[in-house]
Amino acid sequence: MCGVVAVIGKQNASDLVVEGLKKLEYRGYDSAGIASVSGGALHTIKSEGKLINLIEELSKVSKANLQSDSSIAIGHTRWATHGNVNVKNAHPLTSESKVAVVHNGIIENYESIKNQLISDGYVFKSQTDTEVLPHLFMKYIKLGNNFLQAGRLVLKDIKGAFAFVAMSLDFPNELFVSRNSSPLAIGLGEKSNFVGSDAHSIDHLTQRIIYLEDGDHALIDLDNVRIFNINEENVDRKIINIKAEIGLITKGGYRHFMEKEIFEQPSVIPQIISTFIKNSYEINIDLNKLGFKNKNTLLISAAGTSYYAAMVGKYWIEQLADLPVIIDLASEYRYRKPSVFGQSAMLVISQSGESLDTLMALRHGKELGLNTNAIVNVEGSTIDREANYSLYTRAGAEIGVASTKSFTSQLVILFMIAVALGKKFNIVTQEQLQKICSYILSLPSAIAEMLNMENEIKSVAQNIKNAKSIIFLGRGLLYPLALEGALKLKEISYIHAEGFAAGEMKHGPIALIEDQVPVIMFLVSDGNEDKAISNLQEAYSRGAKIILIADRDCIKKAPFAHYKIEIPNFETDFKSLLSPFLMAIPAQLLAYHVANERGTDVDQPRNLAKSVTVE
Ligand code: M6R
C-alpha cells in the first residue's frame, strides 16, 4: 500500500526521504515520487516502477538545483487505486507548482470536489482522487489563510480514509499532516522532524515517535510539532521510544525475504512459546482480560491468511474448550448488522495491525459493545493501540508480502488460547495440559524437520509449475490449510489455485477436474482419513495429478498418488490437533518454489501490498 515519508530541518532531505521510502518498499507499490523546496522553487520528480527508477531520475537532476540546499522534502510510494500506474498519477500531486501533497488512502468524495475545483479554474493533470488535496490547499491559501487554517478547511471538505502530508512554497518551513484511519507516525529530532507511514520508515532518523490518532492533524516545523484533535484543540500525544531494528532489511543470505522468513520459523516460535508457557505446564494468558463472560460465543475476525489462522482457531477452541466460535471476514463484518446475541468478546488477528478492513471490524465490534482483543505482530500499530487487550506474536518484521512466520505465530497464540480456555472450563485435564505443553515445546524442532523436506517439495514444484489451475484439499483442521496453501500459491506464482474441503468436491468442484490438473491434499491420520482418501480417489479416477502430503499411514492407504511427500513421524497423542503447524510448512515451501520456478517477484508480487490500508 502507499507509503509516505517527509523530512523537515535536515540537509539533503530528499536523500533521507528516499532512505525512508526504501524501508516501505515491502508494502508493495507501483510508482514513486519526491518533492522538495530549494532555490525558492518546488521540485517534483516521479517515476513508474521500482524506487531504483526514481533514484536514477534524481541523479539526473543537478544536485545544486534540487537537493543540496533542500532541508524539506516529502516522498511517496504509490499503490494505484484511482487512475492507472503512470508518472502523472504518481505522487506528490501538485497545484500551480506551489503546493505538493503525498497521500495514503482514498478521498471518497473527490468527484464532487474535483468538479467544483474545475469550475473554479483549477487544472487537473492526473486521474487520482488525491489531486483535489493540493488544489484545495492552493484555493484556501489564496484566500489569505495560513497553512494551518488552510489545512483545517481542507479537512472539513474531505471524506474518507487518509493519511497525508502537504507542503507549500508559501510556507516553506512547515508541513501539514493529518490522518483518518490510515496510519501515520511523526518522528521527533533535534532541530528537525519527520513523518512516515510507520515508525520503521523513519527509524534511521529518530527513535522518538508519536502516533497520531484518528481525526488528528498537525503543523510541523523544525522546532515544533503542534498536534490538534478533530475539534481543533491542541493535544499531547504519547511519545514512544522505539528500538531501531538493525538488519531488518537484509535477506541474511537468502534469495528472498519470504524464504528467510519461512526458515526463521524454528527460531521465532520458541520466543512466542516462552512468553506463553510458564514452568513448562502453565499457560500465561489472562483470560479475564479477553472478556469472556461464562461460555459466551467468541467472535474472531481477520483478513487473508490471518483469517485462515482464525479458522484453525475456531476448530481448536470448539474442540478443546467446547466454546462456540464465529469467524467473520473483516471486510464483510463491518458492512453487516451482525447479531451479537450471546457474545461478549471479539478477537481480531492481523500481522501488520494496520489492515483497514480488520481495523474497521474491530471498531464495529467495539460499537456493538464487545470487548475487543487483538493478535498482532506489529506492536504500536493502530489495531494494537485500539484493542482493549493485545497478544503479540513478536515474530519480527515480516517483509515478504506472503505471510509465513506470522501465520504459524498466530497459530501458536490461538492454540494457547484454546488450551487455556479448555483448562478453565475443565475440558482439558491437568495431565493433558502438561502433555500438550511438552509437545508445544518440541514444536520448533518438528518445524525444523518439516523444513528438511524442501528438496522433495521443490521437485513437486518443478512438476506443477506450468499448471493453469491447482486444487488444494483438506478436511477438518487441514481444510483451512488447503485454503491457505491455495492463497499462498496464487498470490506469488499467479497460478489460479483454489482450496476446498475434501468432502465438498462432489458438490461441485469435481467438475473442474480434467486430465493432469494437480490436486494437492494435506492429510494426517485423524480417524477420518479414509473418507479423505476416497475423495482423492474420485479426483484420481478423473485424471487428476495427485500430490499427497501426509503421514506414513495415510500414504500407505493411497498408493495411487503420483507424488507422495511423507511428513516426518511425530509421536504424539495430539498429532492431528497440531497438524496445521506442520502442514503450514509444505504449503509455504510449495508456493515459494513454484513462484521461483516461474521467476515471479516473490517478495513483492504484482498488485499486492503487505499492509492493506484501503478498503
Ligand atoms: O496484516 P494482516 O494480517 O491484517 O493482513 C491480512 C492479509 O492482507 C494478509 O494475510 C494477506 O492475505 C497475505 N498477503 C497472505 O499471504
Task: Answer yes or no: do 7 and 84 share one domain.
Answer: yes
**Can you tell me the distance from the alpha carbon of 213 to that of 228, in angstroms, rounded to the nearest whole number?**
10
Strand arrangement, sheet containing 160-168: 93-95, 99-107, 160-168, 171-180, 217-220, 225-228, 234-235
Task: Answer yes or no: do 282 and 229 share one domain.
Answer: no
**Can you tell me the distance from the alpha carbon of 392 to that of 399, in angstroms, rounded to the nearest whole number?**
17
pLDDT digit string, tens, across residues 264-304: 999 899 889 988 888 778 888 988 888 877 788 999 999 99
Task: Answer yes or no: do 339 and 484 share one domain.
Answer: no
- Expressed in angstroms and rounded, the spacing between residue 306 Cα and the centre of ligand 1 is 6
Q: How many other CB atoms sit within 10 Å of the CB of residue 9?
A: 18
Residue 264 resides in a domain: no
The answer, yes or no, to whether any atom of ligand 1 lies below 6 A from the CB of 576, is no
Q: Which letter does DSSP use for residue 181 in this model?
A: B
> Is 90 exceeded by the pLDDT of residue 172?
yes
Task: Answer yes or no: do 231 and 245 share one domain.
Answer: yes
Residue 282 resides in a domain: yes
Q: What is the largest CA-CA distance in the chain?
A: 81
Task: Answer yes or no: do 313 and 249 share one domain.
Answer: no
Task: Answer yes or no: do 229 and 336 share one domain.
Answer: no
Average pLDDT, integer, range 519-527: 94
Residue ID of nearest Cα to ligand 1 atom 4: 350
Q: How many other CB atoms sit within 10 Å of the CB of residue 573?
A: 11
Q: How far lies 504's CA from each of 293, 428, 473, 548, in Å? A: 35, 31, 9, 18
Residue 265 resides in a domain: no
Domain count, the chain: 3
The answer, yes or no, to whether any atom of ligand 1 lies below 6 A from the CB of 193, is no
The answer, yes or no, to whether any atom of ligand 1 lies below 6 A from the CB of 93, is no
Q: How many other CB atoms sit within 10 Å of the CB of residue 120?
A: 11
Q: Find cell 507499490 and name the residue.
A: 29
> Is 60 exceeded by the pLDDT of residue 329?
yes
Which of 425, 450, 475 corresponds to the end of one domain? 450
Residue whose CB lies within 8 A of the most ligand 1 atoms, among 256, 352, 393, 405, for a mutation test: 352
Q: What is the pLDDT of residue 251?
A: 80
Radius of gyration of the chain (CA): 26
Task: Answer yes or no: do 463 and 438 share one domain.
Answer: no
> Is 80 exceeded by the pLDDT of residue 200?
yes
Beta-ladder partners of 42: 37
- Expressed in angstroms and rounded, the spacing between residue 403 Cα and the centre of ligand 1 is 6
Cis (ω within 30 of 0) for the bond into 92? yes
**CATH number where 564 lies:** 3.40.50.10490
Task: Answer yes or no: do 521 and 396 share one domain.
Answer: no
Task: Answer yes or no: do 169 and 286 share one domain.
Answer: no
Q: Which residue range forms the structural domain that includes residue 544?
A: 453-615
Task: Answer yes or no: do 245 and 290 share one domain.
Answer: no
Residue 271 resides in a domain: no
Lookup: cell for 298: 467468541
pLDDT digit string, tens, across residues 394-445: 998 898 999 999 999 999 999 999 999 999 999 999 999 988 888 888 889 8
Catalytic residue positions?
2, 610
Lookup: cell for 106: 482514498
Residue 548 resides in a domain: yes
Residue 540 resides in a domain: yes
- Higher-confidence residue of 218 and 509: namely 218
Average pLDDT, integer, range 321-325: 94
Which of 431, 450, 469 corresponds to the end of one domain? 450
**CATH number where 48 lies:** 3.60.20.10
Question: Average model confidence (pLDDT) for the chain?
Answer: 91
Q: What is the pLDDT of residue 69?
A: 63
Q: What is the pLDDT of residue 612?
A: 80
Task: Answer yes or no: do 289 and 248 share one domain.
Answer: no
Instruction: Specify the pTM.
Output: 0.79
pLDDT digit string, tens, across residues 9-23: 998 899 999 999 998
Q: What is the pLDDT of residue 253?
A: 78
First vs last C-alpha separation in the chain = 11
Lookup: cell for 152: 483545517
Residues 6+ apart with CB under 8 A from 91: 2, 33, 46, 76, 78, 101, 102, 103, 128, 130
Which of 450, 476, 509 corresponds to the end of one domain? 450
**Can you tell me the distance from the alpha carbon of 17 to that of 5, in angstroms, rounded to the nearest whole number?**
6
Task: Answer yes or no: do 128 and 87 share one domain.
Answer: yes
The answer, yes or no, to whether any atom of ligand 1 lies below 6 A from the CB of 403, is yes
- Expressed in angstroms and rounded, the spacing between residue 307 Cα and the centre of ligand 1 is 8
Residue 49 resides in a domain: yes
**Can you tell me the distance from the alpha carbon of 532 to that of 436, in angstroms, rounded to the nearest whole number?**
26
Residue 440 resides in a domain: yes
- Expressed in angstroms and rounded, the spacing between residue 351 Cα and the centre of ligand 1 is 7
